Structure 1
Amino acid sequence: MDEHSDPGKFWDQIFAREADRYGHAPNDYLRLASGMLKPGSRILSLGEGEGRNAIFLMSLGHQVTCVDASPVARDHALRRIAQQFPGRFVDYQVIDLSLTLPVGSFDAVVSIWCHLPSRIRQRVHAALDTWLLPGGIFICEGYTPDQVRYGTGGPTDLDMLYEPSAIRNELPLNLEVFQKVEREVLEGSRHDGLSSTLQIIARRV
């Protein structure tokens, strides 16, 4: 079983063995970039996992639609969300992005560590122009190919990493922030240490 052949089962096995794999706190870059979201935004969160980023966004008053390939991650996320926001409905869709894409119109799309094979990632990025309403923003952080040398998290398959020039060419949006950074990432047991990441804020005009 590998992430390419059946991502749902691959991540089910991982999250079944190790709940809270990436901790409970939201991603640091998302926390910083969230100030650019308009109040009460409708947000699509790709690769949401166990819900930490969705819970943060919901705490700010946003409405979040979550997408992930793993039913186990969804179940963990919905339990967490129910504890934080009793009785509040969350649309959490189990979707293999290699087979289908979510539908809808959103004020923002969030992609934090949503590493996909490049052929699938290109389809996802092309869909941003459809998902985002005019003025909507894309908030993204992903590991760059240099991350393989650090060994502090993320995939080792270079095709799944965020090579800046390739990502720049894929995005059908106006780039407002597009920076390769070296920073400490401390998120649970699997993102732990100095890392090379690509941080993006892009807008549909």
Structure 2
Amino acid sequence: MWEDRFQTPDYVFGTEPAAFLQDHADLLGPKGATALSVADGEGRNSVFMAEKGLDVTALEYAPSAIAKARKLAKARQVTVDFREVDVLSHNWPETYDLVAGIFIQFVGPDARPILFGGMKQSVKPGGLILLHGYTPKQLEYGTGGPPCAENMYTEDMLHEAFEDWDILECRAYERHIEEGEGHKGQSALIDLVARKPT
């Protein structure tokens, strides 16, 4: 499905980073810190992190998305280590200062512990997870995301999933976003920033 979706000359979600990542740009440092972008898509978020001076690895399943991500990185004159990976069968062998999962709600509640577990494993002690997605109210707007309420996040669910972490931010809110044709219009969003215990 994702390979078919990304096989277009256009960038489905645009070439600018998610508004969430721009809002939290102060967390993208110091220069030379390591970062992992999970289910990175066409590269807009990993490339932005690289522009901020991070040493970025990006995991993505669809070869067509990776091809566009490489093209974007070259145009922006940054280097990203793009890897073709199925995140649900990945063995998560490395650790990073920051792990970002932005609009990764193709995963339902059964597989979510696998994905979250791998992401947690990939954060160095004292490092950060940045997670951004939709709340169930997004189904009322229909401006992006899967048509499945069970794939969405709530504040309670994220607090439970990261209960042993230092949660710096966990909030649901509404906002108009313009991120390509894939995320366009009034949206019901949720952000999590959590630090791994040392």
TM-score where L is the length of structure 1: 0.89
Matched, 1:76 2:68: yes
1:166, 1:18 → 2: CA distance? 37
* Residue identity in the other structure for 1:203: R
Q: Going by fraction, where is helix more abundant, 1 or 2?
A: 1
Matched, 1:35 2:19: no
- Partners of 1:129 and 1:173 within 8 A in 2: no
Shift in Å, 1:127: 2.8
For residue 40 of structure 2, what is the aligned residue in structure 1? 48
Matched, 1:122 2:113: yes
Shift in Å, 1:158: 1.8
Matched, 1:91 2:72: no
Gaps of 5+ in 1: 1-9
% identity of equivalent residues: 27
- Partners of 1:114 and 1:142 within 8 A in 2: yes
Q: Give 3-state SS (helix, strand or coil) of 2:70's partner.
A: helix
Q: Give 3-state SS (helix, strand or coil) of 2:3's partner.
A: helix
* Residue identity in the other structure for 2:96: F
For residues 115-147 of structure 1, the C-alpha deviation after alignment (integer angstroms, 9 at most, x for no partner) is: 112222212222344211121011111011110
For residues 31-68 of structure 1, the C-alpha deviation after alignment (integer angstroms, 9 at most, x for no partner) is: 12120233122001011111111111111110110011
Matched, 1:198 2:152: no
2:196, 2:28 → 1: CA distance? 13
* Runs of 4+, deviation exceeding 4 Å: none
Residue of structure 2 aligned with 1:153, choices 141, 144, 148: 144
For residues 78-117 of structure 1, the C-alpha deviation after alignment (integer angstroms, 9 at most, x for no partner) is: 11112222xx643211111222243211000011101112
1:109, 1:100 → 2: CA distance? 15
The Cα RMSD (Å) is 1.5
Instruction: After TM superposition, list the pairs within 5 Å mapping 1:13-32 onto structure 2.
Output: 13-17=4-8, 19-32=10-23
Shift in Å, 1:19: 2.7
- Partners of 2:61 and 2:87 within 8 A in 1: yes
1:133, 1:121 → 2: CA distance? 20
Matched, 1:173 2:165: yes
Gaps of 5+ in 2: none
* Residue identity in the other structure for 2:100: V
Shift in Å, 1:21: 0.6
Residue of structure 1 aligned with 2:128, choices 121, 128, 137: 137
For residue 5 of structure 1, what is the aligned residue in structure 2? none
- Partners of 2:15 and 2:72 within 8 A in 1: no
* Residue identity in the other structure for 1:186: E
Shift in Å, 1:27: 0.8
Shift in Å, 1:18: 5.6
- Partners of 2:47 and 2:80 within 8 A in 1: no
- Partners of 2:88 and 2:111 within 8 A in 1: yes
Q: Give 3-state SS (helix, strand or coil) of 1:118's partner.
A: coil
Q: Give 3-state SS (helix, strand or coil) of 1:100's partner.
A: coil
* Residue identity in the other structure for 1:99: S
